[in-house]
C-alpha cells in the first residue's frame, strides 16, 4: 500500500457494506422534560405503557431509556413482592380457618 496522508482517499470506506447500529440519542433531558415525564407517570395505565415506549423506543435519549428500564425492573420486583405478601396473608387466613374447625 502506498504511503498516503490521512486526507487522501476520504471517500473510500474500507468497511463498505458493514451494518452499523444507528447512533444512540445522547441528548440531555431538560428539567421541563422530566416534569412532563413525572406528570405522565401519575396517570394510571398510561404510565406503564409509556415506560415501555421510553425504555425500548429508538428516539428516546439513552439516559431516559435506562431510567425507564430500571423503573420497569422495580415495578416487576414490587409486583412479585405484592404477590408473595398476599399469598402469605391468604395462607395465614386459610391456616387459621382450618385450625378453628
| Residue that has been written with the C-alpha cell 428539567 in this structure | 31
User: How is residue 47 written as a grid cell?
Assistant: 404510565
Q: What percent of the chain has pLDDT over 70?
A: 76
pLDDT digits (tens, 9 = 90+) for 1-22: 556 555 555 556 555 556 666 6
| Residue that has been written with the C-alpha cell 435506562 in this structure | 66
pTM: 0.68
CA 62 to chain centre: 9
What is the per-residue burial (b if ≥16 Cβ within 10 Å, else e) of 15-51? eeeeeeeeeeeeeeeeeeeeeebeeeeeeeeebeebb
Amino acid at each position: 500500500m502506498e504511503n498516503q496522508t490521512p486526507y487522501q482517499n476520504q471517500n473510500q470506506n474500507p468497511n463498505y457494506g458493514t451494518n452499523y447500529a444507528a447512533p444512540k440519542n445522547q441528548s440531555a433531558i431538560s428539567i421541563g422534560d422530566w416534569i412532563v415525564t413525572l406528570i405522565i407517570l401519575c396517570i394510571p395505565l398510561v404510565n406503564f405503557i409509556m415506560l415501555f415506549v421510553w425504555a425500548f423506543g429508538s428516539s428516546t435519549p439513552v439516559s431516559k431509556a435506562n431510567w425507564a428500564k430500571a423503573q420497569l425492573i422495580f415495578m416487576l420486583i414490587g409486583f412479585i413482592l405484592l404477590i408473595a405478601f398476599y399469598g402469605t396473608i391468604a395462607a395465614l387466613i386459610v391456616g387459621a380457618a382450618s385450625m378453628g374447625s
